[in-house]
Chain A
Amino acid sequence: MSIEISIFEVAGEFAHNKDKASELRKRVIIPGLQNDSAILIDFQNVDLSTQSFIHALISEPIHIFGIDVLERIAFKNCNETIRTLIEIVVDYLQDEECCVPQELDIS
């Protein structure tokens, strides 16, 4: 099963409101991933976003499920600017020490 999210419907053509990103993450993305769903994040009609918005959207899922969760999250209809912002955020999240699945016992 897959869940499709329209960023434009939630955050408009300038997707910068982190509160809306956090709400999507908590209410849709994380519960969806916990139910083994694939998540399709659609940026159709979104002209611009911010690093903070993208971070608020995908950082926690990557921290919880590990970087391989990106196999189950796809980004659709991104313009070049939004694609670059997502790539920057994904790159630095992969670089973090804390980027390990929470289920792992690393003690």
Chain B
Amino acid sequence: MSEDSISISGNTPTSFTYLTRMGLFKHHKKNTTSKSIEHDPSGRFIPITQITDSESLDEFISQMVPLLHTSPDQARPIKYVISELIRNTLEHSRSSSGAFICAQYFKKANRISIGIADSGIGILKALSFCHRPKTHIDAIEMATEPGITGATSILGGNDTNGGAGLYFIKRIANATNNYFVIYSGTGLYKQLVDKSKNNSQLDMFQQSKPLKYKKTNHYPNWQGTITGFDFSLNRSDSFQSILNEIKKTFNLDMRQQKKEVYKRRARFI
């Protein structure tokens, strides 16, 4: 077997066939011995797709939406989250290969999972140009706060970046009780699905409370950033109602953030 080929001896695991069909090895320019019948992916999955600039992002989103077979209102948050996550990668990761995205529909759970990966500088390095995060997980948490961007040290961002992209996404995940994960360097941030919650209505009460999530700074090092988002299609909330909730919490969270960043106070004697 040549160095450009990958083969599995013995029984081929289904994951190998799946990864082959998703195009993982093709992007690594590796041939595989896995033979699979390539069914039409429409409505079931979107193979790994490389996005290197705004134009290819535009093209991907316009081609992706019909493949999802969702209603227009279900498609709105999906388009929104994909656009913002990939824009983040293109603007901040400094990855020469851009972003890689794939999606899978899970029929039993009636859920679409998307994953986006890059092999860029990671969130810690990207934020360290303008801020002082100490660890990978510090940087990830900082990046999800409102007004923080790697483009400037000024809270609230600059003329191009408002530092609100990841904040919106974590709030969309929270409001809709969907899973959201960010993995960069050795840091892993996971917003989990709360199974005790009514999963069919927007969780307005939870929206006004601090977010619950799991975090660690001891994952195996990933050179770059990976994000994942699950969209439950069982939900009936409109994107408009989600935005209304974010509107309520954004200013409160921004003010809290200012208190934490601008700790220096006037002295009165």
Interface residues of chain A, those whose CB is within 8 Å of chain B, are 12, 14, 16-20, 22, 25, 47-48, 50-52, 55-56, 59-60, 63, 80-81, 84-85, 87-89, 91-93, 95-98
Contact = CB atoms under 8 A, between A and B. Distances in A.
B58 interface: yes
Interface string B138-181: 00000000110000001111111110110010000000000000
A84 to B, nearest CB: 5
B25 interface: no
A55 B164 contact: yes
A56 B165 contact: no
Contact of A59 (B155, B159, B247, B255): B159
Contact of B76 (A18, A22, A81): A81
A18 B87 contact: yes
Most buried by B among A22, A47, A93, A95: A95
A59 B54 contact: no
Contacts of B239: 48, 81
B267 to A, nearest CB: 19
Contacts of A50: 80, 83-84, 165
Contacts of B80: 16, 48, 50
A92 B79 contact: no
Contact of B164 (A19, A80, A92): A92
Interface of B: 54, 57-58, 61-62, 72, 76, 79-80, 83-84, 87, 146-147, 154-162, 164-165, 168, 239-240, 243-244, 246-247, 250-251, 254-255
7 contacts: A12-B58, A51-B165, A59-B159, A84-B243, A88-B243, A92-B162, A92-B164
Please classify the interface of chain A as helix (H, G, I), strand (E, B), loop, or mixed, using the class held by over half of its residues: helix
Given A16-B84, A55-B160, A91-B247, 8 more contacts: A14-B83, A19-B54, A20-B54, A47-B72, A50-B165, A51-B165, A80-B240, A84-B247
